[in-house]
Amino acid sequence: MDQECSNRIISEDYADFLIQSGSSLNNIRNELDVCYVPINDQYVVIYTPITGLPDRFIHLVGYSSYPKCFGLTDIASLQQSGINRVRNVPTLNLLGEGVLIGLIDTGIEYTHEAFKNADGTSRILSIWDQTIQNEAARPAGFYYGTEYTQEQINEALRAPDPLSVVPSTDTNGHGTALAGIAAGNVNEANNFAGVAPATELVVVKLKEAKRVTREFWKIPEGPVCFQQNDILFGLRYLFEKAAEVRRPISIIIGVGTSQGSHDDRGILSSYLSNVASQTGVCISVSAGNEGSSMHHYHGEIEQGSNYDTMELNVGPDESGFTMEIWGKAPNTFSIDISSPSGEYIARIPARLNENQVIRFIFERTVINIDYQIIEAETGDQLILLRFTDPAEGIWRFRVYLSGDLSADFHAWLPITPFISPGTYFIRPDPYTTLTSPGNTTVPIVATAYNYTNETLYVDASRGFTRDNNIAPTLAAPGVNLIAPALNNTYAPVTGTSIAAAHTAGVGAMLLEWGVVRNRYNQMDTIDIRNILIRGTVKNPNFTYPNREWGFGILNLFNSFTSLSGENV
């Protein structure tokens, strides 16, 4: 890897794309000036000058090659989850000792008391900060960012000004909260205790998405946005670090996106499932907070009626956004458009690589429309619409089906932080709103509930996946939990990412029992997922699994009694 390619990784003058290895990569290299870095045996990330991108580039590389943008998916709870009961059993007393907690997020406030040992040293094994560039201190095998070791963090903690020694910190607070929920020290004065306080942490601080990526997806300035390829590299770092020190690892994924097919066939979902199947690895993913956002539409086109009308309200402060319409193969879908002023765009035919730029006479709106008749990862059809300066009011889209069979389709708007609150579907569907990678099958997908009254978090995304696989897996505490906050404080937090962090702490406890204590040394995410499902608490008025609660409420004590053949 030459220095020129390392510079491209962080330069705003170069775009990043995810490409399959082999012939796809060779074809791109013949067309463009690229350098590339492998993620695994199947995929690489290429970096190419923005100025050299050809028109209709999406049809050269495919929709899936554009890195998706992920946003954040924001403890008496230990009693409710059966954790304290497990600790009170002398033969268990699990605290996560010998296990790593892995975090890919906004970083961590390493100076916080929640992450220090009793002697003042750090419980953080390492931090890879993708935002700080130091060629001499990159992690081995990676070509950007800076790695800080436990020795360096301890040196910083002894210094009068720690950030002058290790300048990495969390300016958002999200990563610090997740790390604390999973692994923070007990603080009785603040009524706080992390789930697995004897673990050590490995942290990836993600760099924010490049301007060209935000512009493609029409994401406004302000909300935190991370690129898919940086998350993938972060996962690789955590996995390799755990292998290097020969310890099991429980990983928290607290970011999500509504981009993509909402099934388990995306690059990130596939990678997560592959890693999660490795011995000594547990991966917990947040379900997302899109259940009440009105950002999902499910349409059905009945036999004898060749279209369904979908209505979208655009708010007054909307500068731009994307909308994705997904239909299952072998059906073929097409659309027409009516603007708020009544201007009509006739049905756009469903042709291979169809691309149109629609400019309106009575509105300033511009819509880029791309048809992916055979989307590369799924084989299904995608219609991608990218709006610039959308006119306020109600837009109508008739979605047509070719043929005489009944069929359904789904449409999604971006996650809540990426779009104004006034933009939503008139007839939304709260189901199939799990954010990716919460649409995966192997990792544990956690939704959030209020442990004080056992009600589901009102904004929690709901299942199932678009191909009807079961997710979420279970519900964990995620409403008004006390967590470490910036400036060495504590504050209440809510969201499905909090539930995922809680679940990751439980995963660390099981890895201690199974792998560290050698009770079941082949334990992986699939095993942990099944153990937790067996112990879930169920409401007798519900049928399980269901689209809100998955298999029920997490209860670790029940899980252990199920292993011993007892009933609770």
DSSP of 449-482, one letter per residue? Answer: EETTTTEE-TT------TT------EEEE-SSEE
Q: What span, in angstroms and rounded, lies between the C-alpha atoms of 170 and 224? A: 13
Do β-strands 444-450 and 474-477 pair in parallel, antiparallel, or remain unpaired? parallel
3-state secondary structure of 264: coil
Q: What span, in angstroms and rounded, lies between the C-alpha atoms of 333 and 77? A: 47
pLDDT at site 74:
62
Q: Is the pLDDT of residue 567 over 50?
A: no
pLDDT at site 89:
80
DSSP state of 313: E
Q: Is CATH 3.40.50.620 what the domain over 72-291+436-563 is classified as, yes or no? A: no
The mean pLDDT of 255-282, rounded to a whole number, is 93
Kindly state the tokens that stand for 86: 């497990």
Q: pLDDT (tens digit, 9 = 90+) per residue, 419-466?
A: 999 999 999 999 999 999 999 889 999 999 999 999 999 999 999 999
Beta carbons within 10 angstroms of residue 442's beta carbon:
20
Domain range list for the chain: 3-54, 72-291+436-563, 296-425
Phi-psi label, residue 344: left if phi above 0, alpha if psi -120 to 50, beta otherwise:
beta
pLDDT at site 124:
98
| Predicted confidence band of residue 489 (pLDDT cuts 50, 70, 90) | very high
Q: Is the pLDDT of residue 565 over 80?
A: no
Backbone dihedral angles phi then psi of residue 258, each to the nearest 5 degrees: -95, 0
The mean pLDDT of 334-341, rounded to a whole number, is 97
The residue among 338 and 330 whose pLDDT is bigger is: 338
User: If we measure between CA atoms, which residue out of 321, 287, 325, 343 comes closest to residue 422?
Assistant: 321
User: If we measure between CA atoms, which residue out of 216, 228, 206, 281 comes closest to residue 443?
Assistant: 281
Tokens 């950030």 locate to 163
3-state secondary structure of 412: strand
Instruction: Determine what percent of the chain is predicted with pLDDT higher than 70.
Output: 98
Q: pLDDT (tens digit, 9 = 90+) per residue, 541-550?
A: 999 999 999 9
Backbone dihedral angles phi then psi of residue 529, each to the nearest 5 degrees: -60, -45
Q: pLDDT (tens digit, 9 = 90+) per residue, 114-134?
A: 999 999 999 999 999 999 999
pLDDT at site 568:
38
HEC secondary structure over 349-409: CCCCCCEEEEECCCCCCEEEEEEECCCCCCCCEEEEEEEECCCCEEEEEEEEEECCCCEEE
pTM: 0.95
54 Cβ contact partners less than 8 Å away, ≥ 6 residues apart: 31, 60
3-state secondary structure of 63: helix
| Predicted confidence band of residue 169 (pLDDT cuts 50, 70, 90) | very high
The mean pLDDT of 280-290, rounded to a whole number, is 98
pLDDT at site 405:
74
Q: What span, in angstroms and rounded, lies between the C-alpha atoms of 413 and 258? A: 7
**Cβ contact 165:475 at 8 Å:** no
Kindly state the tokens that stand for 301: 């086109």
Kindly state the tokens that stand for 261: 């097919």
Which helix (H) or strand (E) element contains residue 250? Answer: strand 249-253
Beta carbons within 10 angstroms of residue 4's beta carbon:
10
pLDDT at site 80:
67
The residue among 335 and 80 whose pLDDT is bigger is: 335
**Cβ contact 494:448 at 8 Å:** yes
Which helix (H) or strand (E) element contains residue 430? Answer: none
| Predicted confidence band of residue 315 (pLDDT cuts 50, 70, 90) | very high
Q: pLDDT (tens digit, 9 = 90+) per residue, 357-397?
A: 999 999 999 999 999 999 988 999 999 999 999 999 999 99
**Cβ contact 222:214 at 8 Å:** no
CA dist 213 to 210, 229, 233, 265, 462, Å?
Answer: 5, 11, 17, 22, 28
Q: Is the pLDDT of residue 407 over 50?
A: yes
The mean pLDDT of 483-510, rounded to a whole number, is 96
Q: pLDDT (tens digit, 9 = 90+) per residue, 59-77?
A: 778 899 999 999 987 634 5
The mean pLDDT of 158-169, rounded to a whole number, is 98
User: If we measure between CA atoms, which residue out of 527, 507, 561 comes closest to residue 252?
Assistant: 507
Tally of residues, the chain? 568
User: If we measure between CA atoms, which residue out of 229, 192, 201 comes closest to residue 77?
Assistant: 192
Q: Is the pLDDT of residue 87 over 80?
A: no
Half-sphere exposure of 212 (CA within 13 A, CB side): 17
Give strand ranges (E) for 66-166: 69-72, 100-105, 124-129, 146-149
DSSP state of 504: H
Kindly state the tokens that stand for 403: 């043929």
CATH architecture group of domain 296-425: Sandwich (2.60)
Half-sphere exposure of 504 (CA within 13 A, CB side): 38
User: If we measure between CA atoms, which residue out of 386, 225, 391 comes closest to residue 316?
Assistant: 391
Sheet holding 35-38, edge to edge: 14-20, 43-49, 35-38
Q: Is the pLDDT of residue 90 over 90?
A: no
Q: pLDDT (tens digit, 9 = 90+) per residue, 6-19?
A: 999 999 999 999 99
Q: How far apart are the first and last CA of the chain?
A: 57
Q: Is the pLDDT of residue 1 over 70?
A: no
pLDDT at site 177:
96
3-state secondary structure of 150: helix
Average pLDDT score over the chain = 93
